[in-house]
Amino acid sequence: MARGRAPSYASQREAILAQAAVLFARQGYSGTSMNQVAAACGISKPALYHYVRDKQQLVATIAQEHVARLEAVVRDVDCLALEPQPRLRELIVRFVAEYAGAQDAHRVLTEDVRFLGAEERERVLAAERRVVDAFAAAVAAVRPGADAVAMDKPLAMLLFGMINWMFTWIKPDGRFSYDDMAPVVCDLFFGGVGAVTLPQAGPGRHASIAA
């Protein structure tokens, strides 16, 4: 009876999600085959389909679980009941740490969600929107003023730009780590946010925020 037993369903499925995230991040959604995912997990393709319904569900799960962790970070920081500036700082530091520990899932979230079906895509985008709104509210709180209503969301997006872009240039063996850069982002943002003024509308030219 002491023959080799397969790992439990739950842990095997987790291993599949982790391997798939690596491959999707490296090769893109369409450039990654289910054969490759199966091979990376050391199982056959039919075995892979025992754990996941199809390729779309695989990427949907990776993205959904990642954005759910980001929402959890927002909730955790809310529970700390901090003053505006320490609160935004805590959000930044924790998001950077979350990204550092889930770079593959993060790339899947930012690049591969477009390949989902309309319904699943909307579910992920809705979660992203909640995270963005939480950051925009945190930005508004550190920058009270008449134009805050108009500018807090674009400022939050510039902030996301700084931290989302990090994974393209920070290398594990390099001089600066994600943890090193989080306070730099905070210094830059808190130092500069007071200097920002509402842009005057150009002649007939308009564009708005969607995310």
Contact of 112 with 67, CB cutoff 8 Å:
no
Contact of 119 with 201, CB cutoff 8 Å:
no
Nearer to DNA, 3 or 205 (CB): 3
Q: Which does 151 bind (CB under 5 to 8 A by kind): DNA, a copy of itself, none?
A: a copy of itself
Interface with a copy of itself, residue 136, by CB under 8 A: no
Contact of 188 with 181, CB cutoff 8 Å:
no
Interface with DNA, residue 179, by CB under 7 A: no
Task: Give how far the C-alpha of residue 29 lies from the chain's centroid of Cα atoms, to the nearest Å.
Answer: 17
Measured distance CA(134)–CA(122) in Å, rounded: 18
Interface with DNA, residue 49, by CB under 7 A: yes
Nearer to a copy of itself, 10 or 195 (CB): 195
Interface with a copy of itself, residue 91, by CB under 8 A: no
The tokens 């996941």 sit on which residue?
52
Output the six-digit token pair for 195.
């200097």
Least separation in angstroms between CB 132 and a copy of itself: 8
Residues near DNA, by CB under 7 A? 6, 9, 12, 30, 32-36, 43-47, 49-50, 54-56
